Amino acid sequence: KPLATSVADAKELYLRSREAGVKTAYAASFRYQPQAYLARELVKEGAIGEPWEVECVSHYNLNPLIPFGWSHRIDQGGGRLGNNFTHKLSIVTHVLDGEVVAARGEVRSDMPKAPIVSGVHDFRTREDYAPSREEVEENPDKWSWGDVDSEWSYTVLTRIKTPHAARQPVSAVFRHSGLVPGFNDDYVAFYGSEGAIHISGAYAQATVNLRSTTGNWAEVPMRKSITDALPDIENDAERNWTQLAREFVDDIEGRGNAGYLTFRDGWIHQQVIDTVRAGPDWVAIAQNA
């Protein structure tokens, strides 16, 4: 993910794969977090009643001097929507057993340029090559800069259609700031008519807490049935990738489809991304009467 850099390309990839009759997989893979499975079971069991709202809130405080690369350019697949939001949307739709049916929002790009630094070959170690603020300020002529057009913060509002909500779609807000710190911890939360689920961590990596409308917050222990069904790998990213590969291979070899994401989901995600990047129709507020 993202599947492509535009909705037109994503749609073409999806349609061509469908016409060719080939199986595809799309790796918005943090949907496989054990905590997401636990929340999914709680929602299915009616622990929060009818789901109403979802919040995904995170602040990453990333280094604005990370060396210039693909993540700074939309035409190379960069941007927080394609590389952060897609994971969160897949978590939400997995927990709710739903699909996004409408979206709007806006992005901010508060990093207009990034230093061009040689030697970066591994995205995971790029910050090791970042100059310090002092180095840049003391010797500004030393540095070359690349123009950045990718977003580093976003606000996305979506409507999620789910069999657990009969009256109207669930309202889900995704609030992410890439360059600023947050006072409170990142979280994913689900609210319903009878209670709420709060999962610590931007990608639902930590504790799961449940509260009924009349009770108190209480941590929900992880269920052994969930962890036993997932690869025995400590690293979240590696475990989630492995689970996706396991489901994909099982389907290819005729052992059944567990519901992994495909190019269709990548196309749907890209529709949301392009819609949000296009921005809302702002209504000016009168200042004088």
What is the model's pLDDT at position 79? 97
pLDDT tens-digit readout, 105-121: 999 999 999 999 999 99
Contacts of 30 (CB under 8 A, 6+ apart): 36, 87, 88, 90, 91, 203, 204, 236, 240
The pLDDT value recorded for residue 166 is 85
> pLDDT-based confidence at 280, cuts 50/70/90?
confident
Question: Domain coordinates of the chain in residue numbers?
Answer: 29-222
Over residues 208-245, the pLDDT tens digits come to 999 998 899 999 999 999 999 999 999 999 999 999 99
Q: Does residue 282 surpass a pLDDT of 90? A: no
pLDDT in tens, 178-199: 999 999 999 999 999 999 999 9
222: tokens are 């992880």
Residue 167, burial from CB neighbour count under 10 angstroms (0-12, 13-18, 19+): exposed
pLDDT tens string 62-83: 999 999 999 999 999 999 999 9
Q: What is the pLDDT of residue 214?
A: 87
- The Cα–Cα gap between 188 and 42 comes to 14
Query: Are the CB atoms for 52 and 192 separated by under 8 Å?
Result: yes
Q: What percent of the chain has pLDDT over 70?
A: 100
Global pTM? 0.95
- What is the CATH class of 29-222? alpha beta
